[in-house]
Amino acid sequence: MDPQTFIKNFADQFEDIDPSTFSLETQFRDIEDWSSLTALSIIAMVDESYKVKLTGDDIKKSKTLRDIFMIVKSKV
């Protein structure tokens, strides 16, 4: 699983934010457009792209994209 592809897929869930501003160190809750609907979009994207069931608890205990990336990677 490629980190840069994961970052791009994650960034694609935000309409008005330049994907190049995202990195594994991005604290996604600090993104102005972050919401519970975005969290659901992330869960759906992970399911569709990686065939991994990401849970709300997985997102709650994560702070950065790296945290989510590592959870998804461990479940692939």
In tens, the pLDDT along 7-45 reads 999 999 998 899 899 999 999 999 999 999 999 999 999
Give domain status of residue 6, yes or no: no
Into how many domains does the chain fold?
A: 1
CA atoms 46, 49, 18, 74: torsion sign: positive
Give domain status of residue 56, yes or no: yes
Give domain status of residue 13, yes or no: no
Give domain status of residue 28, yes or no: no
Instruction: Write out the residue range of the structural domain in which residue 54 sits.
Output: 34-76
Q: Is it the case that residue 49 has pLDDT exceeding 90? A: yes
pTM: 0.92
CA atoms 12, 17, 21, 24: torsion sign: negative
Give domain status of residue 41, yes or no: yes
Cα 73 to Cα 34: distance, rounded to the nearest angstrom: 22
Give domain status of residue 46, yes or no: yes
pLDDT at 14: 93
Give domain status of residue 9, yes or no: no
pLDDT at 16: 86
Q: Is it the case that residue 64 has pLDDT exceeding 90? A: yes
pLDDT at 15: 87
Give domain status of residue 25, yes or no: no
